[in-house]
């Protein structure tokens, strides 16, 4: 009890105190039942105990209320940990000042330390939370998959040479430099360190030398550094896995054996190639499988996202079976499957994948850091001043020398040279993390009597890099004025020009007869387009060029943003309603009926009775359809493809939004600004004559045509999806509200009410030849 209040009062912030209180309550919840169970912590025995208890119950009278904590112990504790992690993450972002000074990873480790200490106070044993098996099988994959799936391919490939150089040569250098010098130091010092051989030292070096992706991600995500540096450090941390795996296994083997031959060295090199390439191969294979599977999921959209996760996890596990680099497999799998999967699955499934990945990886990351803290408290430590300080110093020195030396070589080949600042950040960003700890944890006590000392040193290095470097890197980035990340928002122009440049450079390279980067990229693209895409992507999507896909994505994003921000005021009134229908906004029915109500009173001429009927029935059916729930398909899914087209149209309407004012002037409407649709509508309702310049009867048939026959290619496309009927309804519905601007060569006034558009259309029909002008609608309107 006193320790708790002490810790609580240490923080002045009330929120933090509250937060801690929450932890304690949670802990109490987890600890007291544990005490009651008073069993050993090993899960197998736990299960056995559960069995015997059940057995005992049968003899007694029927228990009305039984307590069987052992039965749920494991999942319960896991849930508690996850909950704790999530609450912590939540808490840190509630305290504004804290998260801007201290990186989350540091705070989480501190929390882990506190929790571990508390557990230790409450009872002797701390659960082996950062168990290597648990770490490598469950905690690590989500983070790596997240990294691989969202890997920025372009910068990654452009800098692949540099990244590989740092990852392979740099890590090797680090391992041997640290290992070798440590051995030397151990020999010089006159303590019991002299007993440590060269191989354990090298093993230690190979464990401690690898930059950790989890730590790098956690820190670099907060400092918003420019893309190049980010991908260099992050890419290195991902790709050095193969080197680490091989070195680790190599030295572990040899340390047990005690001898190394030249042959072993050669085998090690071969093994490295096998591990790295094998991992990539496994990953790519599963990636292609995932892509292929997703081709056929159009009828069961709900399980789509799962395939992405399952295949990548399988890739990881399969690679691990052969001691290949699981991390490389995951990266390859994620990177390979992403473009195809994105093209195949529905937009919602894609969002699901994105969210789920982010969620899993952030939980894993949080857990890892907390566990790191807990494990620190838990482990047996043997602190040796010389060894520990020398490891920290050597780590830093090796990193700096490695980066500077390698950059010197790399810069001879790079077009964009790495400046001194860049080198500094790369060197400084070499954080170590939980992977190193887990590898150290894996060492067997009977072969390595110095395991505890190793672990202590590893933890110290991790803490040093995460705390000291992690906390100071942000101010340093500011101080050095390192280029920050630019706004990621890409414009369509940029996309067009970038592609154009790609073609241009390929062409110029061809003229020069130089087969460089662009040439091979072009070749690959061609191959991809010609064969792979056809094979892996649902037929109608496979031909979609990248630019179009990008365009759709952008449109979609913008439309959703508009809807979410309630930015309907700028859009035509019909647009938000249609979009919201797609997005399953709660206000659906009223929103859909609104345009109808608005339209109906205005069509006061001959045929609109029919229109009204069609419209009404359609709306009703749509509404019914929306309410019905199907377990296996999400209701709005059938529209997915059509959706983007709808937005496309809406965008076009927005595009002419600015020309509208001229239009209104031309039409001699008193209303200048379309700011308030209701106002305008009222005005129009009171004075419809201002628009009725020409006899309208001639125009009515045109309206009908628009309604009845879906003439644009979009409408046809809409139909191929599942809910054909829905598609039709949607199309018709849209036919009235959306198609008008598409069909008219004059800019309409999206901000106006439906009747305005109708009227404009009618007038237009008289002055212009009809649908042939379909494509000219982009032309500026000149009165």
Partner 1 sequence: METALIKYLCRFIKNKNTKTDNLILFRYSFTEWPDVKESSIEATFLQKSSRHRLMLSSLTQSAVLCVSVSSSHLLRLYERFESLDRENRGHLRKEDFQAVRELSMNPVGDRIIGSFFSPGQETVDFPSFVQVLAHFRHTENDRIRDGAQKEPANSTARRLKFVFQLYDQDRDGKISRAELLQVLREMLGMQVTEEQLQSIAERAIQEANQEANQDKDDAISFDEFRKSMEKVNIDHKMSIRFLE
* Residue 554 Cβ vs partner 1, minimum distance, rounded to whole Å: 9
Distance CA 41, CA 38 (A): 9
Options 119-127, 330-338, 392-400, 650-658: segment touching partner 1 (CB under 8 A): 650-658
Q: Using CB under 8 A, which of 507, 601, 698, 701 touches partner 1?
A: 507
User: Which of 310, 655, 693, 722 is close enough to bind partner 1 by CB under 8 A?
Assistant: 655
Task: Candidates 157, 314, 648, 705: give the one binding partner 1 (CB under 8 A).
Answer: 648
Work out which of 53, 68, 77, 522 binds partner 1, going by CB under 8 A: 522
Which one of residues 28, 540, 597, 778 is an interface residue with partner 1 (CB under 8 A)?
Answer: 778
Helix, strand, coil % in the chain, rounded to nearest 5: 80, 0, 20
Task: Indicate whether 501 belongs to the interface with partner 1 (CB under 8 A).
Answer: yes
For residue 330, give Cα distances in angstroms to 217, 231, 246, 336, 432.
Answer: 16, 17, 17, 10, 20
By the rule CB under 8 A, 713 interacts with partner 1:
yes
- Closest to 414 (Cα-Cα) out of 151, 166, 211, 212: 166
Burial grade of 124 (CB within 10 A; 0-12, 13-18, 19 or more): exposed
In the bound state with partner 1, the residue whose beta carbon lies nearer, of 42 and 154, is 154
In this complex, which beta carbon is closest to partner 1, that of residue 67 or of residue 416? 416
Q: Does 509 bind partner 1 (CB under 8 A)?
A: yes
Tokens, residue 448: 């390595």
Which residue reads 């000149």 in tokens? 782
- Does 513 bind partner 1 (CB under 8 A)? Our answer is yes
- Check: CB of residue 329 under 8 Å from CB of residue 289: no
Q: Which two tokens stand for residue 703?
A: 């309206």
Q: Is 651 in the site for partner 1 (CB under 8 A)?
A: yes
| Inter-helix orientation angle 700-708/724-737, to 10° | 150
42 forms part of the interface with partner 1 (CB under 8 A): no
C-beta of 344: minimal distance to partner 1 in Å? 17
Pick from 545, 590, 695, 701: which binds partner 1 (CB under 8 A)? Answer: 545
3-state secondary structure of 400: helix
CB of 20 to partner 1, least distance (A): 45
Report the nearest approach of partner 1 to the CB of residue 746 (Å).
15
712 interacts with partner 1 by CB under 8 A: yes
Q: Is 511 exposed, middle or buried (0-12, 13-18, 19+ CB in 10 A)?
A: exposed
Q: Which member of 12, 56, 261, 493 binds partner 1 (CB under 8 A)? A: 493
Q: Does 543 bind partner 1 (CB under 8 A)?
A: yes
Using CB under 8 A, pick the residue from 28, 257, 478, 494 that binds partner 1: 494
What is the DSSP annotation of 136-174? Answer: IIIIHHHHHHHHHHT--HHHHHHTHHHHHIIIIIIHHHH
Asked whether position 505 contacts partner 1 by CB under 8 A, the answer is yes
Among 58, 259, 261, 486, the residue binding partner 1 under the rule CB under 8 A is: 486
- 504 is a contact residue toward partner 1 (CB under 8 A): yes
Least spacing, CB of residue 228 vs partner 1, in Å: 9
| Residue from the set 12, 444, 658, 772 that interacts with partner 1 by CB under 8 A | 658
454 three-state secondary structure: helix
Binding mask 546-565 for partner 1 (x = CB under 8 A): -xx--x--------------
State residue 225 phi and psi, 5-degree precision. Answer: -85, 165
User: Taking a C-beta distance cutoff of 8 angstroms, is the pair 634, 348 a contact?
Assistant: yes
| CA–CA dist 134, 74 (Å, integer) | 13
Dig out the tokens for 423 from the structure: 């080198």
Q: How far apart are CA 432 and CA 162, in angstroms?
A: 20
Q: Does 221 bind partner 1 (CB under 8 A)?
A: no
Pick from 18, 78, 270, 492: which binds partner 1 (CB under 8 A)? 492
Applying CB under 8 A, the span of 87-95, 388-396, 678-686, 772-780 interacting with partner 1 comes to: 772-780
342's CB contacts (< 8 A; 6+ apart) are 350, 549
Site string for partner 1, 378-417 (x = CB under 8 A): -------------------------------------xxx
The residue assigned the tokens 């404009």 is: 760
Q: Which residues contact 317 (CB under 8 A, 6 or more apart)?
A: 137, 326
Q: In the set 41, 544, 589, 722, which binds partner 1 (CB under 8 A)? A: 544
**Cβ–Cβ < 8 Å for 128, 197:** no
Q: Identify whether the C-beta of residue 249 lies closer than 8 Å to the C-beta of residue 295.
A: no
Evaluate whether 699 touches 634 at the Cβ level (below 8 Å). Answer: no
Q: In the complex with partner 1, which residue's Cβ is closer, 417 or 557?
A: 417
Tell me if 168 sits within 8 A of 325, measured CB to CB: no
Residues that bind partner 1 (CB under 8 A): 415-417, 486-487, 490-494, 496-501, 503-514, 516-519, 522, 526, 543-545, 547-548, 551, 648, 651-652, 655, 658, 712-713, 775, 778-780
């Amino acid at each position: 009890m006193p320790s708790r209040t002490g810790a609580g009062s240490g923080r002045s912030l009330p929120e933090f105190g509250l937060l801690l209180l929450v932890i304690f309550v949670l802990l109490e919840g987890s600890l007291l039942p544990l005490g009651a169970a008073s069993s050993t912590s090993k899960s197998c025995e736990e299960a056995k105990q559960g069995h015997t208890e059940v057995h005992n119950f049968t003899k007694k009278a029927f228990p009305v209320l039984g307590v069987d904590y052992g039965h749920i112990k494991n999942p319960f504790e896991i849930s508690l940990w996850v909950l704790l992690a999530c609450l912590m993450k939540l808490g840190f972002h509630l305290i504004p000042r804290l998260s801007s000074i201290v990186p989350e990873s540091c705070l989480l480790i501190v929390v882990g330390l506190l929790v571990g200490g508390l557990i230790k106070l409450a009872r002797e044993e701390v659960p082996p939370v950062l168990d290597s098996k648990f770490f490598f099988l469950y905690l690590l994959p989500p983070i790596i998959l997240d990294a691989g799936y969202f890997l920025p391919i372009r910068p990654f490939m452009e800098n692949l040479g540099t990244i590989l150089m740092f990852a392979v040569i740099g890590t090797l250098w680090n391992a041997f430099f640290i290992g070798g010098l440590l051995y030397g130091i151990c020999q010089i010092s006159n303590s019991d360190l002299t007993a440590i051989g060269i191989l354990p030292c090298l093993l230690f070096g190979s464990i401690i030398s690898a930059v950790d992706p989890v730590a790098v991600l956690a820190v670099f995500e907060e400092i918003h550094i420019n893309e190049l540096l980010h991908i260099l450090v992050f890419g290195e941390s991902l790709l050095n896995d193969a080197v680490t795996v091989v070195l680790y296994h190599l030295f572990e083997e040899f340390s047990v054996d005690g001898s190394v031959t030249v042959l072993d060295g050669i085998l090690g090199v071969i093994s490295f190639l096998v591990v790295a390439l094998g991992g990539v191969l496994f990953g790519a294979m599963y990636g292609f499988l995932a892509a292929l599977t997703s081709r056929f999921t159009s009828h069961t959209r709900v399980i789509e996202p799962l395939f992405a996760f399952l295949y990548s996890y399988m890739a990881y596990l399969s690679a691990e079976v052969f001691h290949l680099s699981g991390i490389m497999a995951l990266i390859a799998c994620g990177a390979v499957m992403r473009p195809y999967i994105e093209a195949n699955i529905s937009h919602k499934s894609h969002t699901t994948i994105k969210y789920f990945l982010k969620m899993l990886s952030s939980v894993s990351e949080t857990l890892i850091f907390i566990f790191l803290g807990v494990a620190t408290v838990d482990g047996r430590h043997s602190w040796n001043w010389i060894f520990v300080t020398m490891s920290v110093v050597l780590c830093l020195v090796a990193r700096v020398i490695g980066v500077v030396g390698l950059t010197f070589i790399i810069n001879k080949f790079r077009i964009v040279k790495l400046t001194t600042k860049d080198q500094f950040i790369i060197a400084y960003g070499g954080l170590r993390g939980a992977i190193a700890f887990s590898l150290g944890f894996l060492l067997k006590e009977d072969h390595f009597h110095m395991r505890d000392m190793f672990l202590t040193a590893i933890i110290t290095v991790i803490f040093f890099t995460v705390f000291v470097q992690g906390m100071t890197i942000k101010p340093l980035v500011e101080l050095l004025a390192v280029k920050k990340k630019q706004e990621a928002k890409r414009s369509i122009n940029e996309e067009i020009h970038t592609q154009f440049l790609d073609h241009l450079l390929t062409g110029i390279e061809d003229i020069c007869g130089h087969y460089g980067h662009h040439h091979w990229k072009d070749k690959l693209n061609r191959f991809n387009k010609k064969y792979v895409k056809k094979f892996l992507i649902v037929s109608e999507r496979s031909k979609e060029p990248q630019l179009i896909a990008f365009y759709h994505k952008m449109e979609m994003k913008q439309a959703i943003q508009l809807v979410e921000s309630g930015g309907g005021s700028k859009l035509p009134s019909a647009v938000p309603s249609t979009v919201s229908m797609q997005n399953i906004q709660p206000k659906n029915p009223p929103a859909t009926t609104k345009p109808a109500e608005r339209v109906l009173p205005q069509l006061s001429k001959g045929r609109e009775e029919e229109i009204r009927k069609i419209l009404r029935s359609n709306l009703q059916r749509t509404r019914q359809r929306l309410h019905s729930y199907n377990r296996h398909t999400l209701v709005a899914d059938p529209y997915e493809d059509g959706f983007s087209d709808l937005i496309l149209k809406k965008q076009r309407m927005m595009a002419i939004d600015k020309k509208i004012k001229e239009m209104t002037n031309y039409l001699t409407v008193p209303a200048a600004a379309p700011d308030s649709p209701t106002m305008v509508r009222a005005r129009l309702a009171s004075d419809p004559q201002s628009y009725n310049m020409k006899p309208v009867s001639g125009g009515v048939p045109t309206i009908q045509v628009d309604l009845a026959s879906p003439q644009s290619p979009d409408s046809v496309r809409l139909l191929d999806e599942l809910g054909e009927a829905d598609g039709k309804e949607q199309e018709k519905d849209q036919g009235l509200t959306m198609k008008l601007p598409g069909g008219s060569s004059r800019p309409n006034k999206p901000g106006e009410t439906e009747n305005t558009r109708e009227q404009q259309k009618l007038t237009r029909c008289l002055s212009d030849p009809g649908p042939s002008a379909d494509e000219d609608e982009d032309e500026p309107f000149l009165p």
